[in-house]
Structure 1
Amino acid sequence: MTVLRMAAVAASFDRDLAADFDRVEHWVRAARADGVRLLALPEAALGGYLLSLDGTAGAPPPLRVDGPEIRRLSAIAGDMVVAVGYCEDGGGDRYNSVVCVTGDGVLGNHRKVHRPLNEDATYGAGDGFAAFDTPVGRLGMMICYDKAFPESARALALDGAEIVVCVSAWPGSATNPEPDLAKDRWKRRFDLFDRARALENQIVWLSANQSGTFGSMRFVASAKVVDPGGDVLADTGVAEGMAVAELDVRAALETARRSMGHLRDRQPHAYPVLGDSAVVAG
């Protein structure tokens, strides 16, 4: 039996990159002291998210995946596997990205595919989902709105991902906001997506999120670890914190899939890929 101790963080990050690195180091130190081997930090942890989603907010500072900032992140990670959101300098375009590193360097990088509201005014779109091998198992990554699309997690599960890390800057509702953030309808959706994506693919799910406020955004926090049955093993609620859980990942996947294997029992001929030919009712 190989038990993996993993964690997802809810915390605030902003445009002050030096302060962001201090926060990253704080959470990595706290996680290491708690025996964590896999740690997920929020979307835009390096540089902060957008100030609003009306298309007028400037982007965080763009960083190259092979640049000095990501090398510094790798050095901070050391013997741990750490996933962190950042604004990627892709040459001609900027991307809302998440990078997975250890002290040995970059293990994987994902560019956000699905851009909500006016996020496309700031970021280009990624073009796919791919799992990759790490010292703690085969991982997949996605960012925030990506998880609202079942195809995202399914593509990663079919590519062999045992654990999916979803980093977010998920806010509370902008219309008719609920004073009690714990009762906010967008928080409810955030939590439902986390549990549904884990259950339908029978995978382990780490969900990190921004907390506090930034610009016009009030984030729901709610970092969590979800098992392959859709049960929440650890959750920060709407406050800053670190959700930590231990699990024998391989055994948990085998147990969840033994009787009803959702990937095994698919019938792809019954639901062929429609792609751009699909008609969406208005």
Structure 2
Amino acid sequence: MSRKITVAAAQVGAIDLTTPKKAVVARLLKLLHEAAGKKVKIVVFPECTLTTFFPRHLIPSQEELDKYFEHGEDITQSPDVKPLFDEAKALGIDIVLGYAERTPDGTGYNTCVYYSASEGKVLSKYRKIHLPGTSEPFEDPKAVNQLEKRYFTPGNLGFEAFRASGMVQDAVKKETVKEGESTIGKGDPIMGMLICNDRRWPEAWRVYSLQGAELIVFGFNTGGNMAHLWGSKPMSPEEAKTEALFHSRLVQQANSYMNACFSISSARCGLDDGKFDLIGGSAIVSPEGHVLAEAKTEDDELVVADIDLAAVRQGKEKTFDYGRHRRIETYGLIDKQTGVVEPDLL
């Protein structure tokens, strides 16, 4: 059963501290219109798409900090961002948008939503769980900070897979299923969302794959030279950036293969404020771990590929047939322990 979709990552280049959200949204709309011209059905925008990646800055003023967040329960009604959702609906394109969310009780989350054009509403919201970095800035004034732990609370929505309607023709629906009929691989696409650092944690992918996820999407803001956080051997800025890009590709390709799913990653990249370097590397990867399409720049760029969700069946039913091969009686430490506990010394 063919289940073909044209999908895209909408990579976004440099955004400075003073760049207005409306100016960013205008750039997103341009990418969306380009996607419409290429018959794209799903566009994935980056993590914290609407502003510069402000967690690299110490912002003591709450009033100033709140400018980088979206407020209220419904992002689709945010004055600056509403035109993007309205246009997505008009063009018939589903979008994934990452943003900084401030809830009514004042909690900050690093969030993304999946907006369905056919249904005209948000189908699912995800809040980033694996927050990297520190709560306090480094003493070294030359250090590039990562203060997500200061500005955000770990996500509380878990890894909930969901189905996206209107993507594939002749998708089997609940009301049409005959008694005893197998519907595996025949329904609307099963989706999962992550954000940036989550992509490095295999547990996140595996929870989605245990729900049958066929397409996992995520945006990221990844520094090209975060030496104070990595703590690795001394590297030149060029070497550090090459390493960061390698690891970004590695985790996407490996996890797509190990979980037999397609994946789309979208980077917020470029040289913010002329000095803060973020890697590109937005990519669309197959269930066999192959890169189908990848960004060639560190600017605004649409990365497009045609995929067939039927291709996930080989991995899910052969190589990684969980029902036959998983041995959950041996995995106890996975959900019982956080830090490393070494065996006793000899």
TM-score by length of 2: 0.75
Q: Percent identity?
A: 24
Counterpart of 2:259 (choices 185, 188, 201) is 201
The aligned residue for residue 132 of structure 2 is: 116
In structure 1, distance between residues paired with 2:316 and 2:216 = 17
Following superposition of structure 1 onto structure 2, how do residues 206-221 of structure 1 map, counting pairs within 5 Å? 206-215=264-273, 217-221=276-280
Equivalent in the alignment of 2:248: 190
Hey, what does 1:277 align to over in structure 2? 337
Uncovered stretches (5+) of structure 2, i.e. residues with no partner:
135-147, 168-188, 228-234
2:162 is aligned, of 132, 135, 142, to 132
Partner of residue 238, structure 2: 179
Greater mean alpha carbon deviation, residues 154-163 or residues 259-268: 259-268
Letter paired with 2:53: Y
Larger radius of gyration: 2
Q: Tell me, what secondary structure is at the counterpart of 2:304?
A: strand
Contact between 2:55 and 2:151, CA under 8 Å: does it hold in 1? no
What's the CA shift string for 1:140-194, capped at 9, x where partnerless?
101000111101111111122210001111121233343378x611111111011
Give, as a single letter, the amino acid of the residue that structure 2 aligns with 1:122.
Y
Task: Give matches, 1:10-49, under 5 Å.
Answer: 10-12=11-13, 13-14=15-16, 15-49=19-53
Structure 2: distance between partners of 1:224 and 1:80: 19
Identify the structure with the greater strand proportion. 1
- SS of 1:99 mapped into structure 2: strand
SS of alignment partner, residue 129 of structure 1? coil
Preserved CA contact (<8 Å) 1:169 1:210: yes
The partner residue of 1:248 within 308, 313, 318 is 308
In 2, Cα distance between the equivalents of 1:185 and 1:134? 35
- TM-score after normalising by structure 1: 0.90
1:238 is displaced (CA, Å) by: 4.7
Q: Which moved more, 1:225-234 or 1:131-140?
A: 131-140
Q: Once the two structures are superposed, what CA deviation does each residue of 1:6-29 show, in whole Å capped at 9, x if it has no partner?
A: 011221245411011101111111
For 1:53 and 1:268, the matched residues in 2 are separated by 43
Q: Do residues 142 (structure 1) and 188 (structure 2) align?
A: no
Q: Does 1:84 align with 2:97?
A: yes
**Residue aligned with 1:184, SS:** helix
CA–CA separation in structure 1 for the residues paired with 2:254 and 2:331: 20
Instruction: Give the Cα separation in 2 of the matches to 1:145 and 1:124.
Output: 14
Contact 1:71–1:105, Cα closer than 8 Å, also in 2: no
Out of 87-96 and 57-66, give the one that drifted further. Answer: 57-66
Matched residue type, 1:162: E
Partner of 1:263: 322
> CA 1:228 to 1:55, structure 2 compared with 1: closer, same or farther past 3 Å?
farther
- CA distance 1:271–1:21, shift in 2 (3 Å): same
Correspondence for 1:168: 220
Q: 1:95 to 1:279 in 2, by over 3 A?
A: closer
Relative to structure 1, is the Cα distance of residues 47 and 142 closer, same or farther in structure 2, using a 3 angstrom cutoff?
same
Please state how far the C-alpha of 1:54 moved relative to its aligned partner.
6.6
Question: Structure 1, unaligned stretches of length 5 or more?
Answer: none
Contact 2:259 2:316 in 1 (8 A): no
Q: 1:148, 1:261 → 2: CA distance?
A: 20
- Aligned-pair Cα RMSD in Å: 2.3
Q: Aligned partners of 1:53, 1:116: CA distance in 2, in Å?
A: 15
Query: For the residues of structure 1 that align with 2:71 and 2:25, how far apart are their CA atoms?
Result: 13
Residue in structure 2 matched with residue 99 of structure 1 by the alignment: 113
Q: Secondary structure of 1:114's partner?
A: coil
SS in 1 for 2:39: coil
